[in-house]
Structure 1
């Protein structure tokens, strides 16, 4: 009866993709946290809205990339590799944003609670993620 409703193989396949790509996402977020000069978690606990907004953009951006990587690859390894490639592109975009704003340091502004810069940083993460996820598919 159960096999008529759900294919056990498909359920296991789904769980495997979920576990592996969630792990890749967590590692990507950890790397993002390591490259910022401030401690994201401390800033979030202090109520820094700019950090929260930027963090939101990173999480959603990475997740969009992982979704496309899963949807467009027949293998778990392919999905993980394309997810990592998309993350690297997000990192490059992050550094380009910093480079294109020589009058101020993006990280410093976000650490100081500049919500406007946090919104722009989140928007850039999302834009890069949308472009990358489209390119993956």
Structure 2
């Protein structure tokens, strides 16, 4: 019975952390992500998908490698901060244009690149968690 309770609590914490992560990411852009998705903006969809996948990778590795929910949450926080840093570093190394402006305009190349920056960062950071 205790195993079932631990599993349910762990899943709920993972879902909560994933949602919190996505809300924080949405605050980083000056536009409304869901409105852009409704309008069919593929660039935003790619960037948002990369954000979701990268947080899922970090959460998955943190959950797999930690027996404590607290340590899982701690490692997720560390990994998540690395994802935020990756976004701002990517912004820094793209002088002459703002990423969010190009995403809002539907620049698929920027959306795809940002998606891969997030996923690549998640894989790299996840190797530190083990």
Equivalenced residue count is 130
Specify which of 70, 90, 112 is matched with residue 63 of structure 2: 70
Cα distance, 1:9 vs. partner? 2.0
Residue in 2 that maps onto 1:3: none
Alignment of 1:126 onto 2:123: no
Residue in 2 that maps onto 1:14: 7
Residue in 2 that maps onto 1:46: 39
Residue in 2 that maps onto 1:102: 95
- Please tell me whether the aligned partners of residues 106 and 117 of structure 1 are also in contact (alpha carbons under 8 angstroms): yes
Cα distance, 1:49 vs. partner? 0.4
Q: Distance in 2 between matches of 1:81 and 1:47?
A: 35
Residue in 1 that maps onto 2:23: 30
Residue in 2 that maps onto 1:92: 85
CA RMSD of superposed structures (Å): 0.8
What's the TM-score, normalizing by structure 2? 0.97
Q: Distance in 2 between matches of 1:85 and 1:134?
A: 12
Q: Which runs of 4+ in 1 moved over 3 A?
A: none
